[in-house]
Amino acid sequence: MTLDPNTLRHSPQLAALELLAEAAETAIVALCAAHPALEHELGDDPQPAIEQLADQVVDYAFHALDALGRYQALLRVLPREAILDPDDIPF
C-alpha cells in the first residue's frame, strides 16, 4: 500500500501499521523457509519444540495481520472528524 501525505496527515498511525504488517509478512515467509513442515498441517505427530513455537508465531502473525487489516479498513470508512486531530492529543 502506498500512503499519500494527505492520508497520513489524517491517520498517521497507518504508516506504523503498514510497517508492522510488512514485518509480520516477512516473519511468516522466513519462518516457513526455515521450517518447511509449517507449510503443511503439523498433524498429530510430535514435532520438535522449535517447530511448534515457529508454528505458533506464524499463527499469531496471521491473527495480527487480520487485526491490522480490520483496523486499517475501519480508518478508511470513519469520518475524518471521528479520528483525533494530532493537535487535540493532550500529551
Give the model confidence (pLDDT) of 5-48 as tens digits.
877 777 788 888 999 999 999 999 999 999 888 876 655 566 78
Q: 47 in a domain, yes or no?
A: yes
Residue at 90 is within a domain: no
Residue 79: the pLDDT is 66
What average pLDDT does this structure show over 74-79? 77
With respect to residue 56, please indicate whether it lies within any of the assigned structural domains. yes
- In the numeric block, which cell numbers belong to residue 14? 497507518
**3-state class (DSSP) for residue 55:** helix
List of residues 6+ apart from 50 with CB closer than 8 A = 35
**Residue 41 within a domain:** yes
> How many angstroms separate the CA atoms of 12 and 14, rounded?
5
The residue that leads in pLDDT, 37 or 88, is: 37
Question: What is the distance between the alpha carbons of residues 70 and 47, in angstroms, rounded to a whole number?
Answer: 33
How far apart, in whole angstroms, are the C-alpha atoms of residue 24 and residue 26? 5
| Position 91 in a domain | no
Q: What is the count of structural domains for the chain?
A: 1
In a domain, 34, yes or no: yes
